[in-house]
């Protein structure tokens, strides 16, 4: 499920941190955590009783925040009051009204310790799902946020990969299968995702990277290398493809909104 939020800044001198992604994640977590009990009731009432289905509520990613701005050091000064944000959740279509009601008219603060902007969510739109073939689909995916691909090295640190590295797509598939197993049970990916494929489709200009910072200015500060300016060709059955679309491609999906893709 993909939703689009329209946001309106409530103040005038609106200065966002350039690394606004982690603060947005915190806002989304706050909203969905406040609705845990409501969501459990929703699952029960609608008969969506897949084992551990409540976990799906925490599988999400989100797009870059789209708004007009000027760069001021490590800040982004908004030059207009409107912004747009896309969020993807791995939820059943019956959750549409629940999710819309959860976000609509919320007042949120996107900020770090130095500056931030108060917004009101003025509109929530649920994107219509494209029909998919149960067994086989070959689609082109566009990026709404950059993708992080990485493999673990010593001491559990990631080695971040670029799209020209053969392991880039290998690790995207590995991570995709891990999510599928988490959602549908150990061994589900081996049974249902044996033929999935991901390949890079270049644009006219080469892929570009962006260095993102998590928890900037704190002892827990972490830097992440993400890549954009390309598309992905994906071959997969419907069930697996929906997981990719709804939970994000690669890693750092819910943490900083990386890997938000659409058809």
Q: pLDDT (tens digit, 9 = 90+) per residue, 136-146?
A: 999 999 999 99
Give domain status of residue 215, yes or no.
yes
**148 CA to centre of own chain:** 11
119 and 218 share one domain: no
| Inside any domain, residue 202 | yes
Quote the tokens at residue 81: 């009051």
116 and 145 housed in the same domain: no
Buried b (16+ CB within 10 A) or exposed e, 13-37: ebbbbbbbbbbbbebbeebbeebee
Q: Model pTM greater than 0.85?
A: yes
What pLDDT is attached to residue 226? 98
Instruction: Let me know whether 146 and 99 are in one domain.
Output: no
Position 198 scores a pLDDT of 99
Of 69, 24, 40, 231, residue with least CA distance to 146: 231
Q: Are residues 106 and 142 in the same domain?
A: no
pLDDT band of residue 155 (cuts 50, 70, 90) is: low
Residue 131 lies in a domain: no
Domains in the chain: how many in total? 2
228 is a catalytic site residue: no
- The question of whether 2 is a catalytic residue gets the answer no
Catalytic pick among 2, 20, 39, 44: 44
What is the share, in percent, of the chain residues with pLDDT greater than 90? 75
Q: Are residues 119 and 20 in the same domain?
A: yes
The answer as to whether 132 is a domain residue is no
Catalytic-role residue among 29, 158, 228, 262:
29
Which of 126, 151, 166 is a domain's end point?
A: 126
How far apart are the C-alpha atoms of 246 and 242, rounded to whole Å? 6
Cα 25 from Cα 255, distance rounded (Å): 6
């Amino acid at each position: 499920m993909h939703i689009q939020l329209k946001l309106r800044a409530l103040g005038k001198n609106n200065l966002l941190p350039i690394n606004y992604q982690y603060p947005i994640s915190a806002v989304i977590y706050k909203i969905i955590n406040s609705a845990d009990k409501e969501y459990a009731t929703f699952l029960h009432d609608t008969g969506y009783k897949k084992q551990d289905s409540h976990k799906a509520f925490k599988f999400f990613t989100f797009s870059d925040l789209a708004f007009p701005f000027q760069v001021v050091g490590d800040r982004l000064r908004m030059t207009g009051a409107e912004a747009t944000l896309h969020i993807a959740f791995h939820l059943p279509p019956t959750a549409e009204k629940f999710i819309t009601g959860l976000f609509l008219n919320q007042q949120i603060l996107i900020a770090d310790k130095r500056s931030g902007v108060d917004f009101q969510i003025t509109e929530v739109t649920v994107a219509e799902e494209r029909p998919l073939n149960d067994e086989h689909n070959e689609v082109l995916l566009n990026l709404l946020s950059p993708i992080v691909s990485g493999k673990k090295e010593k001491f559990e640190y990631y080695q971040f990969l670029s799209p020209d590295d053969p392991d880039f797509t290998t690790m995207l598939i590995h991570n995709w299968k891990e999510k599928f197993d988490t959602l549908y049970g150990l061994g589900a990916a081996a049974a249902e995702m044996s033929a999935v494929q991901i390949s890079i489709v270049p644009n006219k200009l080469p892929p570009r990277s962006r260095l993102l910072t998590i928890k900037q200015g704190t002892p827990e500060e972490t830097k992440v290398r993400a890549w954009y300016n390309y598309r992905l060709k994906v071959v997969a059955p419907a069930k697996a493809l929906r997981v990719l679309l709804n939970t994000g491609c690669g890693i750092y999906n819910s943490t900083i909104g990386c890997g938000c893709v659409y058809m």
